[in-house]
Amino acid sequence: MKRELNRWKKLREKYRGTMKFSDENGTVGAVAMDAHGNIAAATSTGGIPFKLPGRVGDSCLIGCGLYADNKVGGVSATGYGESIIKVMLSRVVCELLEKGLTAQKAAERSVKMLEKKINGRGGVIVLDRKGNVGIFYNTPKMARAYMKEESDAPISSV
């Protein structure tokens, strides 16, 4: 709690008198499959400092910031929530999986569509029903990691 208060104070000073937003926050997302093939997705927003009152991000909206369907796969999205909401990014990924695209191709195509359709910025981590991983983003960076049953350690990148 003290760490977050200090962080908020630092950001408040940095952006005092402006409406400039920061990308110093991070979304935490996860997609997992259990031993029975059940898939779950979760997304927790990093938020936007000094957000306008009443703003709702994509993280809490099923089909936008996250989506899971045992028959095709699961997705967790990150980025500019207003854009992600407009295209229902996570549901789009699952629709592409339903059409037979690989997890990686579905990730790539959905984020490229986000950019082309509304100049949106974001990224996704995808897990298909067979446990294959797909990751793609069009933001300057997206920290990510995944681990498979046969892995000795997580595969990660910032």
Q: Is residue 148 part of a domain?
A: no
Give yes or no for a contact between 106 and 97, defined as CB atoms under 8 angstroms apart.
yes
Span 108-118, mean pLDDT? Answer: 97
User: Residue 64: pLDDT band by 50, 70, 90 thresholds?
Assistant: confident
CA distance 145 to 157: 6
Establish if 157 belongs to a structural domain.
no
CA angle (75, 76, 78) in 5-degree steps: 140
Q: How many domains does the chain have?
A: 1
CA-CA distances (angstroms) from residue 33 to 25, 61, 129?
Answer: 27, 21, 8
Residue 138 CB contacts under 8 Å (≥ 6 apart), including other chains: 111, 112, 114, 115, 121, 122, 123
- 113 inside domain: yes
- If you average pLDDT over every residue of the chain, what do you get? 83
Residues 6+ apart with CB under 8 A from 95: none
Domain presence at residue 30: yes
Residue 154: inside a domain: no
DSSP lists the bridge partners of residue 86 as none
What is the pairing mode between strands 28-33 and 144-146? unpaired
Is the per-residue pLDDT at 22 higher than 60? no
Question: 129-140 pLDDT, tens per residue?
Answer: 999 999 999 988
Q: Which residues of 17-40 are buried (b: 16+ CB within 10 A; e: fewer)?
A: eeeeeeeeeebebbbebeeeeebe
Provide the pLDDT for residue 46: 67
Give domain status of residue 57, yes or no. Answer: yes
In this prediction, residue 25 has a pLDDT band, given cuts at 50, 70 and 90, of low
Catalytic residue among 18, 27, 78, 102: 27
Domain of 33, CATH number, reads 3.60.20.30
pTM score above 0.85: no
Is 143 among the domain residues?
no
Query: Would 29 be classed as within a structural domain?
Result: yes
- Taking 70 as the threshold, does the pLDDT of residue 147 lie above it? yes
More confident residue, 102 or 81: 102
Q: State the residue range of the domain holding 102.
A: 2-138
Query: Annotated catalytic, 102?
Result: no
pLDDT at 99 over 80: yes
